[in-house]
Amino acid sequence: MGDAKFEVKVERVSRAIKVSRELVSELEGASKSMVDKMRKEAVNCPVLGCKVSFIQCFLCPNFLRRVRGVVYCKGESLGG
């Protein structure tokens, strides 16, 4: 596994961030309560340059791991 280029803090948000059904369907093994909790978390994505839902971050190919409220990101271009 590659080294992290960025360490991004996970923030709690008061209102859930909208996420497409396709992304949520990729989390089919997770419980509904876990998905609901993830919807109320966000990160300032260093690659996209904006605040995104933790679900989108978790499913990103740049996601390495999350430890104690910090996401470790490869920081590579998403090319698209």
Q: What local confidence, expressed as pLDDT, does residue 78 receive?
A: 80
Q: What local confidence, expressed as pLDDT, does residue 29 receive?
A: 87
pTM summary value: 0.84
Domain boundaries, the chain: 6-73
Each residue's pLDDT tens digit, 15-69: 888 888 898 899 888 888 988 899 999 999 999 999 999 999 999 999 999 999 9
The size of the chain, in residues, is 80
Find how far residue 29's CA is from the centre of its chain.
16
